[in-house]
């Protein structure tokens, strides 16, 4: 009988594409942001879609959700995004809007860098809108 030591899946069963984007997004940063700006990272499970969810905000009431990973019916990379209230717990499909699904953007599996750049652009757009909001409030 052959034996082996059980392996622990330290990736939380997140797709390779999602982990690649997670690794690439930070290399696009060029602009410093206020200390209160925050990007929380959560695993995202929606059937066979096993990706990552960013909750982008400044710990205020309005956050940008960005979910990315491997499409359930192909090897393509999907990116979904919507605005909502920062959840107390980990985001789930209960937080997912029809608008986000209809606005889904897909990338070829060979275009991981393009997907990471797109995710970074969504983050920067949200931070820029927060900058504008902060200036208007002062």
pLDDT (tens digit, 0 to 9) for every residue of the chain, 138 residues total?
788 887 888 888 999 999 999 999 987 777 777 666 788 899 999 888 899 999 998 666 678 999 999 998 889 999 999 988 877 778 888 878 788 888 999 999 999 999 999 999 999 898 888 776 655 555
d(CA 41, CA 52): 7
Q: What is the DSSP letter of 23?
A: H
Cβ(55)–Cβ(87) below 8 Å: yes
- Cβ 26 vs Cβ 120: under 8 Å: no
Model pTM score: 0.85
CA 118/CA 50 separation, integer angstroms: 19
Q: Is 121 helix (H, G, I), strand (E, B) or coil?
A: helix
CA–CA dist 60, 63 (Å, integer): 7
What are the helix and strand counts (H, E) for the chain?
3, 5
CA distance 129 to 18: 26
């Amino acid at each position: 009988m052959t034996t082996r030591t059980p392996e622990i899946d330290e990736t939380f069963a997140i797709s390779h594409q999602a982990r690649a984007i997670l690794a690439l997004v930070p290399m696009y940063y060029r602009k410093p942001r206020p200390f209160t700006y925050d990007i929380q990272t959560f695993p995202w499970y929606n059937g066979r879609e096993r990706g990552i969810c960013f909750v982008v905000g400044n710990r205020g009431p309005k956050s940008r959700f960005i979910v990315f990973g491997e499409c359930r019916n192909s090897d393509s990379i999907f990116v979904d995004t919507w605005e909502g209230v920062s959840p107390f717990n980990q985001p789930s499909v209960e937080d997912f809007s029809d608008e986000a699904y209809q606005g889904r953007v897909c990338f070829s599996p060979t275009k991981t860098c393009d997907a990471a750049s797109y995710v970074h652009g969504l983050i920067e757009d949200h931070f820029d809108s927060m900058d504008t909001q902060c200036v208007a409030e002062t």
